[in-house]
Structure 1
Amino acid sequence: MTQPAQPLTPEIVSAILRDPDSPLYPAQITVFCDHCGTEATADFMVSEDMTRAERLAVARKHLVDNEGWQHDEEIGDDFCPEHAAPAA
Structure 2
Amino acid sequence: MPEQPTPITPEALSTILRDPHSPLYPTQITVFCDHCGREHTGDYLVSEDMGRTERLAVARKHLVENEGWEHDKFGDDFCPEHAAPASASQS
The secondary structure found in structure 1 opposite 2:25 is strand
Q: How does 1:4-83 map to 2 (within 5 A)?
A: 5-73=5-73, 75-83=74-82
What is the CA distance between 1:6 and its match in structure 2?
Answer: 2.4
TM-score (norm: length of structure 1):
0.89
- State the percentage of identical aligned residues: 75
What is the CA distance between 1:29 and its match in structure 2?
Answer: 0.3
| Count of residues in Structure 1 that have an aligned counterpart in Structure 2 | 83
The CA distance in 1 between the partners of 2:6 and 2:58, in whole Å, is 12
What CA RMSD, in Å, does the superposition of the two structures yield over aligned residues? Answer: 1.0
The secondary structure found in structure 1 opposite 2:87 is coil
The CA distance in 1 between the partners of 2:17 and 2:46, in whole Å, is 12
What is the CA distance between 1:86 and its match in structure 2?
Answer: 2.8
**C-alpha deviations, 1:5-64, integer Å up to 9, x for none?**
322121111110011110000000000000000000000000110010000000000000
- Which segment is superposed worse, 14-23 or 54-63? 14-23
The secondary structure found in structure 1 opposite 2:45 is strand
Q: Which has the higher helix share?
A: 2
- 1:86 alignment counterpart: 87
The CA distance in 1 between the partners of 2:64 and 2:28, in whole Å, is 17
The CA distance in 2 between the partners of 1:6 and 1:82, in whole Å, is 25
- Which segment is superposed worse, 8-17 or 62-71? 8-17
The secondary structure found in structure 2 opposite 1:50 is coil
| Unaligned ranges ≥5, structure 1 | none
The secondary structure found in structure 2 opposite 1:41 is strand
